[in-house]
Structure 1
Amino acid sequence: MHPLSFNVEQMHRALFVSEVLLEIFINLNQLPTTEGWTQSLTQRSLAALARTCKTFHEPAMDLLWANMPGLRPLLGCVTRLHSMIYDPETKYSWSQCVDPLAEHEFHEFLRHSARVRSMTISSNTYFRLLTALPIETCVFPGLISLSWMVQRTNIGDLHFFLSPTLLNCSVSEFHSDLTHIGTRCAALEAITLLEDSGTVQLSATVRSCKRLKYLECPPLDSAAWMHLSTVPTLLKVKIVASRIIHFPLDNLNFATFLNLTTLCFRRMEVAAVVTIMQHFEFPSLKEFEMHVRVLPWAEAEQLCRALSQCKANQTLEHICISSRDRIPQHSGDPLTAVRQFLCFTQLRTLRLSTHCFIYLDDDLLLEAMTSWPYIRSLSLDDWHICPPTVTFRGLIAALRLCPYLQYLQVPVDFRNIDIGPEAKLFQNTSLQNLTIASSEPKETDSEAVARIIYSVLPAVEQVMRGNGNVRLWNNVNRHLELLRNKSSSASGHFITGAASQT
């Protein structure tokens, strides 16, 4: 619609209702774009609407400037810079040979900055143009979300973007301007610091934040942990170390994270995590994740024991503990995590991939399914070449107790598939994905295995070959396909077999 051809008197009355008009513009702004900022159809449409009439101007302009990919569009509003910024031949080279903004140009630059709500800064190309701005200038008074992907910037560069309204801040590298960000941005709810920094500076940054809901950062010292335990709004904490950092947490006092629901550690020193779990209680914790490069048996036992004692028995729903590398020399003792986690009665997901032998037999599997009535996914990666102790009969008995189970990965003994006649009358229709680290069935038992899977687990479609005898599992798949072809009620997804040598 061309602005000159628009007749306000013919406009429908609904368009004078600000809520209706804003909803229309928001839907327009959500259309996918494939071109650059200045060329996208959505941005051109909003610009045209802003020029149409006074009724359209404010909501269209608010959306037009709400999400900025950098400073370039704002600098384009400066008369002296406009032709250079939008000249395709100059691109970015011009910024190194022009003077910074003069005082009379500040108004042109700041004219639309109050409308910006979200900004991503990935380059320091234009920072020198702002050097004449007073350091106390609040350039973006309405900024809510900031993604700062710039490295090696000068002190003071980040200050222009630290708005009092800022709620979310993501920084690729720690910046000294962040040291007291909670003081300048009192409403800050989420902060992400991706790179390691000095522990003292990071601790000061975290301790300045009083209303955090989400925190992702490198490892913290004792003072920061104690401060976080006093923040009632805190819901999620994710600690990510780019390298193993050895520093003591020897000044922790026993405290409670009242409302924390998610706790995640990546590449963190296991001893430090165990110390944290031993000194704090988490009565609202729902998710716990621990991912490390190496997790020896002794440390895995300590971690599982500390987790079971953190007062989250009635709330914890998801547990994921994994290690990447195999331990050359490991203890022959089995990991007792399954038994230690029986106290978590609300458990939905349990994944253990620790390169340690995880103890599980028919009785313990039955007890686990009794303790976890809401379990939906159970994955116990058994990396060891050991004869499995869970029988097919025990597996079927356990499946009777878990009506919501959709994914299961446990070691099962396929060498003896004899089950009682009562089991043949049972069907589990919820299980869709089954990964079996198992001893291989006998070649003559392929059809029998297929018939049992088909009759007891109708939602399971096929056995994917593991690292055992591929031909044997292919025979099971072939018999499963023949059985499905004879029935019109076949349905389901996949069963993946990670069969191990026996």
Structure 2
Amino acid sequence: MHFCLRLDEILREVFRCIESRSTLCVLARTCSAFYKPATDQIWETLTAIEPILQHLSPASLVGKRTGSYFALLHPLSGDDWNIIRRLSSRVRRLHITLENNVPSHDDVNDTVSQWFCLLTSPPDSSFLFPNLRALSFDVDRNLDISGTGDILTGTSQAIIRLFHLLLGSHLSALRFEMPTSFYPHLDISSIPVLCPNIHTLSLGRQNFYCEGAPILDEVVYRFSGAVSQLRYLETVRSYVASWDLLSSLAEAKGLRKLWVHLPNTLGPRPTRPRGNIFTQLRTLDISTGSLTPCMELLRWTSFKKVTGIYIDCPVSTEDRDSLQTLVDMSYVISSQCQNLDFLWIVFSPFDDRETPTGWPRPMLEPYQAFHQLRVIALQTSHSLTLADNEFEGMVKAWPHLEELPPFYIIAQNSSTLP
């Protein structure tokens, strides 16, 4: 067996293969036969390309001021490419982060840049990870090209070329995070053509609008068109949002889980959609800096089959009367989501107004008829002003609660999560 596997992993793999013949004698005779399954398990998931580079003849450890990296000091031969194809074909999940070891500016003497460009120029796409099922592609903000006038450098061209080379028909999960300056140069329309079987999709990065200029509307529109062609989407996580993109997601017939970051302004709300939309959606997670776009989305369409809602609005800077907006949102949710059994709201308002008497009764009352509720919680800095006996009376409306107390009041700087 391969020495990288833990003992329990070795035994689990061995006993799975020999099934009913799991005697110590059989175990002793068969361990040597499991070297290949063991190495297959190790190569199944990679978090870097270096493990493949180490097997190539031109590879060498190069020292840099920021660390040491494997680099290709000479052009790749046909034998080298065959090694790359043999090893990368065993990989099913690739999680790659391109950081400072891929320099942001071209340098003739920079061997790291040279090896990266060599690696992203295979004879054809079948030589690089042809059997990927899941791809996570993260480009560090330090590689942002906005400082070069958004003109692609040799390295940034290689990064984009590598991204497209890794897209294939076997992919069922795709996550990519890049600086905003990269997106206009992506061939976004090719994603549904190259990866028609995607079930899980994640777009953009956290603090998206804090890293360079906001993504262009034209690029968001192209994302919308690509999403509308992905027929098998089940889970989407998007730091990019527009009414066009939300409309495309609403028409995804198999979509069951949606996490979306809403900007403080979505623009004019389009006509309420008709027909069968969000027909399979069960979980809705919303992250936003203001309750206003959240209200707009909830009013825009009905989420009839949604059973779980999680809303994260940690600092509301746009809402003048945030507590009243929260109450209004409760009435909208209760009218749009009749099957709701999970509700969790993270809310720390920017204003320091005094909490009104009886809080949070106005917010709880719309859910009194939701006897199926398992969890209802508010993570906030506001204090309860509802009398204990009144609070206990309201709790009786939810006989199936799994979380007690049913309504959390948590300090603003708390790290408690549902």
For the criterion TM > 0.5, the same-fold answer is yes
**Residues 77 and 264 of structure 1, relative CA distance in 2, 3 Å threshold:** same
Deviations 1:454-483 (A, max 9, x none): xxxxxxxxxxxxxxxxxxxxxxxxxxxxxx
How far does residue 232 in structure 1 lie from its aligned partner after superposition? 2.6
Whether 1:166 and 2:171 are equivalent positions in the alignment is yes
**Residues 202 and 238 of structure 1, relative CA distance in 2, 3 Å threshold:** same
How far does residue 188 in structure 1 lie from its aligned partner after superposition? 1.1
Query: 3-state DSSP class of the match of 2:48?
Result: coil
2:299 counterpart (278, 295, 315): 278
Whether 1:60 and 2:58 are equivalent positions in the alignment is no
Residue of structure 1 equivalent to 2:363: 337
Q: Is the 8 A contact 1:76 1:85 kept in 2?
A: no
How far does residue 338 in structure 1 lie from its aligned partner after superposition? 0.8
Whether 1:106 and 2:81 are equivalent positions in the alignment is yes
Looking at structure 2, the residues matched to 139 and 240 of structure 1 have their Cα atoms a distance apart, in angstroms, of: 33
Looking at structure 1, the residues matched to 353 and 394 of structure 2 have their Cα atoms a distance apart, in angstroms, of: 29
2:287 counterpart (266, 287, 299): 266
RMSD: 3.9
Q: Which letter does structure 2 place at the counterpart of 1:253? A: P
Looking at structure 2, the residues matched to 337 and 225 of structure 1 have their Cα atoms a distance apart, in angstroms, of: 27
Residue of structure 2 equivalent to 1:150: 139
Q: Is the 8 A contact 1:264 1:290 kept in 2?
A: yes
Q: Is the 8 A contact 1:297 1:330 kept in 2?
A: no
**Residues 258 and 67 of structure 1, relative CA distance in 2, 3 Å threshold:** same
**Residues 343 and 66 of structure 1, relative CA distance in 2, 3 Å threshold:** same
Q: Which letter does structure 1 place at the counterpart of 2:248? A: H
**Residues 245 and 130 of structure 1, relative CA distance in 2, 3 Å threshold:** farther
Query: What TM-score comes out, normalization by structure 1 length?
Result: 0.58
Q: Is the 8 A contact 1:119 1:147 kept in 2?
A: yes
Query: What TM-score comes out, normalization by structure 2 length?
Result: 0.69
Q: Is the 8 A contact 2:62 2:69 kept in 1?
A: no
**Residues 257 and 363 of structure 1, relative CA distance in 2, 3 Å threshold:** farther
Looking at structure 2, the residues matched to 138 and 94 of structure 1 have their Cα atoms a distance apart, in angstroms, of: 20
Looking at structure 2, the residues matched to 179 and 92 of structure 1 have their Cα atoms a distance apart, in angstroms, of: 37
Percent identity of equivalent pairs:
19
2:267 counterpart (238, 247, 270): 247
How far does residue 57 in structure 1 lie from its aligned partner after superposition? 5.4
**Residues 76 and 357 of structure 1, relative CA distance in 2, 3 Å threshold:** closer
How far does residue 94 in structure 1 lie from its aligned partner after superposition? 6.2
Q: Which letter does structure 2 place at the counterpart of 1:285? A: V
Query: 3-state DSSP class of the match of 1:407?
Result: coil
**Residues 120 and 166 of structure 1, relative CA distance in 2, 3 Å threshold:** same
Aligned residues: 340
Match runs of 1:466-481 below 5 Å: none
2:57 counterpart (68, 79, 82): 79
Deviations 1:376-432 (A, max 9, x none): 33xxxxxxxxxxxxxxxxxxxxxxxxxxxx33558xxxxxxxxxxxxxxxxxxxxxx
Match runs of 1:231-380 below 5 Å: 231-240=252-261, 244-254=264-274, 256-292=277-313, 293-294=315-316, 296-310=322-336, 312-313=337-338, 315-329=339-353, 336-353=362-379, 360=386, 365=391, 368-377=394-403
Query: 3-state DSSP class of the match of 2:244?
Result: helix
Q: Is the 8 A contact 1:339 1:364 kept in 2?
A: no
Looking at structure 2, the residues matched to 407 and 370 of structure 1 have their Cα atoms a distance apart, in angstroms, of: 12
Q: Which letter does structure 2 place at the counterpart of 1:191? A: L
**Residues 103 and 284 of structure 1, relative CA distance in 2, 3 Å threshold:** same
Q: Is the 8 A contact 1:168 1:188 kept in 2?
A: yes
Looking at structure 1, the residues matched to 14 and 382 of structure 2 have their Cα atoms a distance apart, in angstroms, of: 65
Query: 3-state DSSP class of the match of 1:78?
Result: coil
Residue of structure 2 equivalent to 1:388: none
Match runs of 1:1-150 below 5 Å: 18=17, 20=19, 52=32, 55-56=33-34, 58-81=36-59, 84-85=60-61, 92=68, 95=71, 98-103=73-78, 105-123=80-98, 124=102, 126-134=115-123, 136-137=125-126, 139-150=128-139
Q: Which letter does structure 1 place at the counterpart of 2:270? A: D
Deviations 1:232-257 (A, max 9, x none): 3211111125x634433324414532
Bigger CA radius of gyration = 1
Structure 1 unmatched runs, 5+: 3-13, 25-48, 378-405, 411-434, 438-502
Query: 3-state DSSP class of the match of 1:256?
Result: coil
Q: Is the 8 A contact 2:368 2:397 kept in 1?
A: yes
Q: Is the 8 A contact 2:43 2:90 kept in 1?
A: yes
How far does residue 216 in structure 1 lie from its aligned partner after superposition? 0.9
Q: Which letter does structure 2 place at the counterpart of 1:161? A: L
Q: Which letter does structure 1 place at the counterpart of 2:198? A: L
Looking at structure 1, the residues matched to 363 and 199 of structure 2 have their Cα atoms a distance apart, in angstroms, of: 35
Q: Which letter does structure 2 place at the counterpart of 1:110? A: R
Structure 2 unmatched runs, 5+: 3-12, 24-30, 103-111, 144-155, 209-214, 412-418
Q: Is the 8 A contact 1:100 1:130 kept in 2?
A: no
Looking at structure 1, the residues matched to 383 and 35 of structure 2 have their Cα atoms a distance apart, in angstroms, of: 66
Deviations 1:294-337 (A, max 9, x none): 25133212211211111x32x31211123223414579586611
Looking at structure 2, the residues matched to 357 and 205 of structure 1 have their Cα atoms a distance apart, in angstroms, of: 45
Q: Which letter does structure 1 place at the counterpart of 2:330? A: C
Q: Is the 8 A contact 1:146 1:168 kept in 2?
A: yes
Looking at structure 2, the residues matched to 349 and 341 of structure 1 have their Cα atoms a distance apart, in angstroms, of: 11
Q: Is the 8 A contact 1:117 1:145 kept in 2?
A: yes
**Residues 19 and 209 of structure 1, relative CA distance in 2, 3 Å threshold:** farther
Residue of structure 2 equivalent to 1:407: 405
